[in-house]
Amino acid sequence: MKILLDTQALLWALFERRKLSEAAREMLEDPNHDKQISIVSAWEIAIKQGLGRLPYPADLRQVIDDCGFEYLALTSEHCHAYGSLPHDGMHRDPFDRMLVVQAMTEDAHLLSRDPALDRYGVKRVWYERTLPPRR
């Protein structure tokens, strides 16, 4: 199964694994799944890191490159399909919307905590059971 991580899921997978749901952790640990991160997430992370909005290490690019996930490129097909998503004003984040388009175009499951993305018909995986906080 193809799994496309959204940006938040990627950051949690790398730095705050306990915030992932049990289902998300199981999917990431399963060697039979093709785990991908979008170049769109790398772009979003670079923007937020440049603005000082991420509490993660400065060498974040290297950490992402070393994580073993496959990069999913942004294609013209993705860009053209982006315009077909409804513009209902409910979800305006262009990065999330592009991840939805990429997951749907590539027939991948989107690993995301955001239930607002379900309105687009994307195969989203999360399940809300998470581990309790460490004491």
pLDDT tens, position by position, 46-81: 999 899 998 887 787 788 888 889 999 999 999 999
pLDDT band at 131 (very low <50, low <70, confident <90, very high): very low
- 128 pLDDT band, cuts 50/70/90, is low
Contact indicator for 112, 118 with CB cutoff of 8 Å = no
Instruction: Give residue for tokens 């955001």.
Output: 114
Nearest to 76 by CA among 97, 94, 101: 101
CB 104 within 8 A of CB 117: no
132 Cβ neighbours under 8 A, 6+ residues apart: none
Q: What does pTM read for this prediction? A: 0.89
Q: Are 3 and 111 in contact (CB under 8 A)?
A: yes
